[in-house]
């Protein structure tokens, strides 16, 4: 990935424009650009589309834009390695995205209507998707079907990549328990230990801050260019304490939108890179912890990593744009707000598709119609995968139900002749009956 060009310093350009009598044109461009709702451009993009205008060079126009942004920005307690604060302000686009998230993820009426009888199924799918996509962002080579089988069966992971997926899945489940607790350095270390267990070259680094001898940098895999050098290891304990204070709203004055707070936590861990490896997975886990802690319960049902994975370079570029443009966090903030809204959209589409498929299957099953949504999901899968194998534990895991409920579901399908029971070792395994479609009257 190409490193973005660092923007020109805007203050000297402002001084020169004032001396040359260009202040009025300068202020007008600043006003117009900062009201735009469609984009938040970095100099690396702006320089290609801008041209001299109203007597101002494109560098002077950029200075006008940056002046307007600086005047509206507020500081965060996150500091860079030189002690300079990161800043942000809510653009018109950010306000709109936050409203969408509040409507769907909080306690509003539209949120409750999205997930109904198949709550556990949607939760399993989203947790599996987040576990997989977050692992793939870090280089894991595991397919969706492999991840689903691994998690459903709860079999031991046999490769480092499978362990990454299972670790992420278990960590996501753990976050629902940790959401009631304030964030502490020990909790962050625990989360890191959970996501990295059995996946690091040196297991001693699991759940441990990097030390003075750990040379950690963010580099381009192809060119070797250094994109980011994190703070010194000796600063990490104090920076982590400050991060926890921020997460817990300790000593804060005024209101900071909870979603903004969650996104800042994501960025903060990525910037500090406090671990030898596993920083990205830990950062995204802390984002979810913060969302759940602040009542955004729908965060259990969508996957931001799935959306990030569609265009990972944009994700990494958002970090670089922030760091190269005076610690302006708006680049990362808007990117993540868009990812969250896209994730919610994907969830809504998934729910709609599953509901339509379940209803069609109900209609086609004919007489009785006495199948619950879990059995319909299993039958639907069996029709597409005639050589699949099902277990009570796998069915239980997929739907988040008790072992007895899972047994009842499977036994009922076996009694109707839709599943055949076999045995592998001491465990019962069920397979689709021959001509299942014909038995179902399809």
Chain segment 261-273, per-residue pLDDT in tens: 999 999 999 999 9
127: exposed, middle or buried (C-beta count within 10 Å: 0-12, 13-18, 19+)?
Answer: buried
Q: Is the four-CA dihedral 257, 261, 266, 270 of positive or negative sign?
A: positive
What angle do helix axes 58-72 and 23-33 make, rounded to 10 degrees?
Answer: 60
pLDDT confidence of 106, banded at 50, 70, 90? low
pLDDT confidence of 210, banded at 50, 70, 90? very high
Residue 89 pLDDT more than 90? yes
Cα–Cα dist 304/287, whole Å: 10
* Token digits of residue 235: 């600063």
Higher pLDDT, 17 or 120: 17
> Which CATH fold topology does 368-439 show?
Arc Repressor Mutant, subunit A (1.10.10)
Question: Where do we find the tokens 């604060």?
Answer: 85
What angle do helix axes 258-272 and 92-105 make, rounded to 10 degrees?
Answer: 110
* Average confidence (pLDDT) over 116-125: 62
Cα–Cα dist 345/339, whole Å: 10
Cα–Cα dist 405/231, whole Å: 51
- Are 342 and 315 in contact, with CB atoms under 8 Å apart? no
pLDDT confidence of 111, banded at 50, 70, 90? very low
* Token digits of residue 277: 């490896």
Q: What is the pLDDT of residues 245-258, one digit of tens each?
A: 999 998 777 899 99
Helix (H, G, I), strand (E, B) or coil at 414: helix
> Which CATH fold topology does 75-349 show?
Fic-like fold (1.10.3290)
Q: Worst-scoring range by mean pLDDT, 4-18, 102-116, 206-220?
A: 102-116
Query: Within the chain, which residue ranges are assigned CATH 1.10.3290.10?
Result: 75-349
Cβ-proximal residues to 264 (8 Å cutoff; 6+ apart), any chain = 76, 78, 86, 246, 329, 333
Q: Which helix (H) or strand (E) holds 290?
A: helix 279-293
2: exposed, middle or buried (C-beta count within 10 Å: 0-12, 13-18, 19+)?
Answer: exposed
Higher pLDDT, 375 or 152: 375
Higher pLDDT, 315 or 16: 315
Cα–Cα dist 390/383, whole Å: 13
**Residues pairing with 56 in the sheet:** 53
Query: Within the chain, which residue ranges are assigned CATH 1.10.10.10?
Result: 368-439
Q: What is the pLDDT of residues 33-79, one digit of tens each?
A: 766 666 789 999 999 888 877 788 889 889 989 988 998 999 999 99
Give the pLDDT confidence score for residue 365 in this predicted structure.
64
Per cent of the chain over pLDDT 90 is 55
């Amino acid at each position: 990935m190409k490193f973005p060009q660092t923007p020109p310093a805007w203050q000297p350009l402002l001084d020169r424009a004032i001396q040359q009598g260009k202040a009025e044109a300068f202020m007008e461009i600043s006003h117009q650009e900062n009201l735009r709702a469609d984009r938040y451009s970095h100099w690396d993009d702006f320089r290609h589309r801008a041209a001299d205008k109203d007597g101002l060079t494109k560098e002077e126009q950029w200075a006008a834009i940056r002046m307007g942004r600086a005047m509206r920005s507020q500081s965060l307690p996150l500091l860079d390695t030189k002690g300079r604060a990161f800043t942000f302000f809510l653009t018109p686009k950010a306000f709109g995205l936050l409203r969408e998230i509040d409507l769907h993820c909080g306690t509003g009426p539209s949120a409750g209507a999205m997930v109904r009888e198949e709550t556990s199924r949607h939760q399993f799918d989203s947790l599996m998707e987040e576990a997989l996509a977050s692992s793939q962002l870090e280089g894991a080579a595991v397919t969706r079907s492999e991840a689903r089988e691994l998690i459903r069966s709860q079999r031991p992971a046999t490769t480092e990549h499978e362990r990454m997926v299972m670790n992420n899945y278990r960590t996501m489940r753990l976050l629902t328990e940790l959401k009631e607790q304030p964030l502490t350095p020990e909790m962050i270390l625990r989360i890191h230990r959970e996501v990295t267990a059995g996946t690091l070259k040196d297991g001693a680094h699991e759940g441990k801050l990097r030390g003075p001898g750990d040379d950690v940098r963010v580099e381009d895999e192809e060119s070797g260019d250094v994109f980011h050098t994190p703070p010194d290891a000796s600063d990490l304990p104090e920076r982590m304490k400050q991060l926890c204070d921020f997460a817990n709203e300790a000593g804060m004055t005024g209101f900071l939108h909870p979603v903004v707070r969650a996104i800042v936590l994501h960025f903060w861990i990525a910037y500090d890179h406090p671990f030898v490896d596993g920083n990205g997975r830990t950062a995204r886990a802390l984002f979810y912890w913060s969302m759940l802690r602040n009542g955004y319960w729908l965060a259990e049902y969508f996957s931001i990593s799935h959306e990030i994975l569609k265009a990972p370079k944009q994700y990494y570029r958002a970090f670089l744009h922030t760091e190269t443009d005076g610690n302006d966090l708006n680049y990362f903030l808007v990117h993540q707000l868009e990812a969250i809204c896209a994730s919610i959209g994907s969830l809504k589409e998934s729910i709609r598709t599953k509901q339509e498929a379940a209803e069609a299957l109900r209609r086609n099953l004919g007489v009785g119609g006495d199948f619950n949504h879990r059995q319909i999901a299993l039958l639907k899968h069996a029709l597409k995968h005639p050589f699949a194998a099902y277990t009570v534990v796998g069915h239980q895991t997929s739907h988040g139900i008790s072992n007895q409920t899972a047994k009842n579901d499977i036994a009922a399908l076996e009694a109707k002749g839709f599943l055949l029971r076999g045995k592998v070792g001491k465990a019962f395994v069920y397979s689709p009956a021959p001509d299942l479609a014909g038995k179902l009257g399809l």
